[in-house]
Amino acid sequence: MEPLSPSLNLLDHLNILDWIVFGLVLLATFAAVIWGQIKKNREIPTNDEELNFLDLLLMGRRLTLPMFVATLVATWYGGIFGVTQIAFEQGIYNFVTQGLFWYLAYIVFALFLVHKIAPYHAVTLPDLVDKMFGPRSAKVAAMFNFFNVLPVAYVISLGLFLQSLFGWSMNLSMIIGVAIVISYSLSGGFRAVVFSDIVQFSVMVSSVLLVAILSVSTFGFDTLTTNLPAGHFHPMGENSLSTTLVWGFIALSTLVDPNFYQRCFAAESESAARRGILISTGIWFLFDICTTMGGMYARATIPEANSGQAYLIYGLQILPPGLRGFFLGGILATILSTLDSYLFQAGTNLAFDLAPKKWKGKISIHHFGIIGVGLLSIILANVFDGNIKRVWKTLGSYSAACLLLPVMIGHLFPKRISDSQFVLACAVGVIGTTYWRNASHMGFWADVDELYIGMLCTAIVLVPTLGKKIQENPSNNS
């Protein structure tokens, strides 16, 4: 095989067969959205606003196991340029921080949380928090959730994809991409997201598997051991234990991630939700192996490539005609499946959780919310200078530091934390996280991440109160 190039003009590298296959993937995605809307119109009376809104948010709580797995897997993997960049730069550190830590969180959610949240019959995570703690806690949780589900990283990923493909400016690429996603997200609600995810799930999993198989068959494993730095095979790469474990706590933010809760609330049964998460975890395990290998093979064969686009450039050069178009479709499907879910979830957050009572539950407000979130995400993508890893780290840190502990205590020790204590703990966590993030630190403290400080501040508020209530009610400590 000829040496691979570290850069490509993608348009020149694709032939008519590639474009046909790529177009068929897009056509199948939009056909799935239309089919979902047709089914909705058959099942839900158009004049029943309450049923329409429940269908808009949760597909009428009729999410079957296969659909649950497809939408959950597809939604959770939109930052493919982010994870392959980490694999390119740091090797299996990507699998540890973006894989193993998260699997533990998924399993905890499936085995210990699904049965706890089912009896509440909530619509959103803040709605669940309202029922567990109170209305002020729900508003605080809604604000955290809003920033947690802003799809900034996935807007950047889509911009990078379209920029690489068509040569447009980054801002133009993001604007066009977000406009297309908004157009079909508005047409069918959560049902449209789920039906499009079914197609996108199939294509994204198949495409990354193809790249992994062709990489091994073409170059063998010796290429990796010969051409990669030794640090690429160390679980922590060149990072400290403290830095590595931060990703573990960010992964635990899955336990307060609204997309996970939404799919569990939408599932047709508690069993479907629990089994769906466990099946999805197995699929993510295989997917992470493939993307980590792909990023590492890209580094081994084209080390001069831009790390953010190396996986795309590498995959297009090792795949034959036709499969290149399928691979492009898989990359796009991976991004779109997460972007549309996060846009929709953020719109739900505004329309259901944060909107004034007179506007709550209005489909028009939900639509305006999705459009507003899309515009805000483009603005923040520029604020973060297109750095996907920094977006994940910043937005994920606040959610994990401030929201994780009070919600988990609420699950383990119901009714032990009051509405006002929840709010106070989150506020102190925000202050601690923000202060540490912006302050200067020397020596040992330079390695202490703001996430640890935020969690410590939250714990300082909650743990003494929790201990006091346990002592006051020893018979209820189960």
The pLDDT score that the predictor gives to residue 478 is 39
> Who's near 439: CB < 8 A, 6+ residues apart?
none
- Predicted confidence at residue 379, as pLDDT, reads 95
Superfamily name and number for 10-386: Sodium/glucose cotransporter (1.20.1730.10)
Give the C-alpha distances (Å, rounded to integers) separating 261 from 57, 72, 212: 12, 11, 32
Q: What is the mean pLDDT of residues 277-306?
A: 96
Report the pLDDT averaged over residues 26-55: 76
**What is the mean predicted confidence (pLDDT) over 306-316?**
93
| Average pLDDT, integer, range 92-99 | 95
Which of 95-99, 346-350, 391-395, 470-474 shows the lowest mean pLDDT across its residues? 470-474
Each residue's pLDDT tens digit, 245-254: 888 888 888 8
Q: Would you list the domain boundaries of the chain?
A: 10-386
Closest to 170 in 3D by CA, of 155, 159, 157: 159
Stronger pLDDT, 242 or 109, i.e. the higher one? 109
- pLDDT tens, residue by residue, 399-413: 888 999 999 999 988
Say what percent of the chain tops pLDDT 70: 94
pLDDT digits (tens, 9 = 90+) for 258-275: 889 999 999 999 999 999
Residue 468 pLDDT more than 70? no
Strongest mean pLDDT among 10-24, 432-446, 463-477:
10-24
Q: Which of 131, 469, 102 is nearest to 277 (CA)?
A: 102
pLDDT given at position 228: 97
- pLDDT mean across residues, the chain: 89
Average pLDDT on 288-305 reads: 96
pLDDT tier, 49 (very low <50, low <70, confident <90, very high otherwise)? low
Half-sphere exposure of 334 (CA within 13 A, CB side): 27
Task: Flag whether pLDDT at 45 surpasses 70.
Answer: no
The answer to whether 421 and 462 have CB atoms below 8 angstroms apart is: yes
Kindly report the pTM of this predicted structure: 0.88
**pLDDT of amino acid 401:** 86
Q: What is the pLDDT of residues 152-201, one digit of tens each?
A: 988 998 998 899 888 899 999 999 999 988 887 776 678 888 998 999 99
Across-strand partners of 63? 267
pLDDT over 60 at 234, yes or no: yes
pLDDT tens-place string over residues 147-164: 888 899 889 989 988 998
pLDDT at position 460, please? 93
pLDDT given for residue 193 in this prediction:
85
pLDDT digits (tens, 9 = 90+) for 412-464: 888 889 999 999 999 999 999 999 988 888 877 877 888 889 999 999 999 87
